[in-house]
Amino acid sequence: MKIGFAQINSIVGDFKNNAQKILLSAQKLVSEGADFAIFPEGVLSGLPLKDLTLYKKFIATAQDLLTDIAIKTPLPIIVSCPSLNNECVGVYNSAYLLENGEIKAIYNKHLLPNYGALNEPRNFDAGKDFCVVQLKDKRIGITICEDIWTLPNVPTAGRYNDCVRPLEYFSQLAENGEGVDLLVNLSASVFSDKNDMVRRKGGMLEEVSRYVKAPLAWCNLIGGNDELVFAGGSCYVDASKGVCKCLAKFKEDVVVVDTNDVSSHEGDATDFNGIADLHDALVLALKDFINKIGIKKVMLGLSGGLDSAVVAALAVEALGKDRVVGVSMPSKISSDHSKSDAVALAENLGIEFHMISIADVVDSAEATLAPLFAGRPRDVAEENIQSRSRGLLLMAISNKFGALVLTTGNKSECAVGYCTLYGDTCGGYAPICDVYKTDVYKLANYINKQAGREIVPQNTIDKPPSAELRPDQKDEDSLPPYDLFDAILRLHIDEYKSVSEIVEMGFDRAVVEDVARKVAGAEYKRTQYPIGPKVTAVAYSTDRKIPVAIKRGMQ
């Protein structure tokens, strides 16, 4: 078989653009000899749809375009599209075989994830029937994403206990001698640093192929959509032959895989490549968010510190240096190095740069409030006035020039609310809000190493982190050292470990309790934080759902 893989990047709701991409890919693949082509989950509508499924017009438009594609496609294609459940008012997440101008088969996704960043049962009904089609004398089974994430050894926390799982069905077919020649899975697998190891030797896809006794063609979505990153890396896996052919990660790739001519386990050993994949995911997410909403330029405050330096470098990689503007906004207490490091960064990146003092705005705010504040000591109120003056000036420049402000906070500081709402949290996208501080350091070193020169100034990497909202302030005055801090946060946030469980693992009780208390106390700040890409198991905006008005310390 010659299977066409069309790993393409869709825009949510941009049916015409997506349909055109589908047809262009189909033409390329037929010209390269493909027998048929497969596309990722969500390719026509974009993903995630969320409550767009509740608007009838949306589903109707998708179906209209599907009919049009069926007429125009030059080869048989298996493509994903939402469809109406005519038995009631619901919607299915469906896959269609389009061949000879017609819809030849429909499959409705069975297993709808409701965990992590996903809640598909809110918007889709579960399918009941299985689907095996015939193409070029081969029997091909069709599944969608989660349908194959239910191997006997993969825990599913009580989900899907009531239905026959697709893999069981195809495994049973094989046992009965009626097995398929190929299992197709249209996928939109959400990237995270824990979730992208499926293709490696001995990984999940190989196990699926072994379990159903057939090769697997896994076509995965590529692109950033709001918080979600889809990493691509589609592949053909035949466990019985030790065979794996992989497509590119983090970019579109439209290629024919000849199943008679595949090498053994190509490129699978380094499937999750640590900081390199994290870096590529962040760049893709930022590029797609900005381009898909049609913004020409981004801007950000450059403090001379690590977070803003890394965000600026990622933005230049995503958008090019001509679309990124840096603004240094020193106060009276800003150190000399915070200014010189910001200048050095902007020069290293070659971006437009401005330096604007916040001193006058801070002075006038303090003078305005002086009668009301008379007799009270200086405290966090004055610290936050500085941060909010920066937010005010940055947003004014954003409004005047139409540039979107990037928020530079990281996952560690956001965990405990070590940030100023309406100050440094201002912005339309937060590129590293799901990256722990220890990983921000790794990104800075990776960026410099890849460039073969200093992009992030070495002094920015070496100096102790500081918010510089009062003289000689250091992050470690208020927080544990970042290695310890991040280790606790990964357990408490990403793995839902309670304080007592973390203490049992050998951490100091007082430190863990203080961190957990601050995490609970910052829940309200996170409800107002800009969105940014999910790259860990539990991102705040998509995965962590904790009430605000609670008795703290109980989880």
Residues annotated as part of the active site: 41, 109, 145
Shortest distance (Å) from residue 185 CB to its own copies: 24
Instruction: Give whichever of 227 and 238 is closer to its own copies, judged by the CB atom.
Output: 227
Instruction: Give whichever of 256 and 538 is closer to its own copies, judged by the CB atom.
Output: 538
Shortest distance (Å) from residue 238 CB to its own copies: 32
Single-letter amino acid code for the residue at 351 = I
Beta strands 118-119 and 324-328: pairing type?
unpaired
**Length of the chain (residues):** 555
List the beta bridge partners of residue 97: 78, 105
C-alpha triplet 239, 245, 250: angle, nearest 5° = 125
Question: What string of DSSP letters covers 332-357?
Answer: TT--HHHHHHHHHHHHHHT-EEEE--
Given strand 253-258, what is the order of strands in its sheet? 102-108, 91-99, 77-84, 36-38, 2-7, 253-258
Shortest distance (Å) from residue 117 CB to its own copies: 11
Instruction: Give whichever of 137 and 157 is closer to its own copies, judged by the CB atom.
Output: 157
Give 510: exposed, middle or buried? Use CB within 10 Å, 0-12, 13-18, 19+: exposed
Q: What gap in Å lies between CA 418 and CA 200, rounded to an integer? A: 38
Would you call 497 helix, strand, or coil by DSSP?
coil
| H or E stretch at 520 | helix 509-521
The pair of structure tokens assigned to 526 is 């996170």
Shortest distance (Å) from residue 289 CB to its own copies: 5
Shortest distance (Å) from residue 224 CB to its own copies: 8
Q: Are 217 and 258 spatial neighbours (Cβ–Cβ below 8 Å)?
A: no
The conformational region for residue 177 under phi > 0 = left, psi -120 to 50 = alpha, else beta, is left
For CA atoms 293, 288, 436, 154, the dihedral sign is: positive
Instruction: Give whichever of 438 and 498 is closer to its own copies, judged by the CB atom.
Output: 498
Q: Kindly report whether the peptide bond that precedes residue 48 is cis, defined as omega within 30 degrees of 0.
A: yes
Instruction: Give whichever of 237 and 502 is closer to its own copies, judged by the CB atom.
Output: 502
Q: What gap in Å lies between CA 13 and CA 429, rounded to an integer? A: 20
Shortest distance (Å) from residue 305 CB to its own copies: 21
DSSP 268: -
C-alpha triplet 294, 79, 264: angle, nearest 5° = 100
Q: What gap in Å lies between CA 412 and CA 432, rounded to an integer? A: 10
Instruction: Give whichever of 27 and 357 is closer to its own copies, judged by the CB atom.
Output: 357
List the beta bridge partners of residue 236: 217, 245
Both ends of the chain: CA-CA distance in Å? 53
Shortest distance (Å) from residue 284 CB to its own copies: 13
The conformational region for residue 359 under phi > 0 = left, psi -120 to 50 = alpha, else beta, is alpha
Instruction: Give whichever of 215 and 428 is closer to its own copies, judged by the CB atom.
Output: 428
Instruction: Give whichever of 86 and 176 is closer to its own copies, judged by the CB atom.
Output: 86
Q: What gap in Å lies between CA 216 and CA 536, rounded to an integer? A: 27
Instruction: Give the max Cα distance, the chain.
Output: 87
| H or E stretch at 27 | helix 15-31
Shortest distance (Å) from residue 92 CB to its own copies: 9
Shortest distance (Å) from residue 277 CB to its own copies: 22
Instruction: Give whichever of 458 and 500 is closer to its own copies, judged by the CB atom.
Output: 500
Instruction: Give whichever of 15 and 418 is closer to its own copies, judged by the CB atom.
Output: 15
Shortest distance (Å) from residue 89 CB to its own copies: 5
| CA contacts within 13 A on the Cβ side of 465 | 21
Q: What gap in Å lies between CA 419 and CA 433, rounded to an integer? A: 12
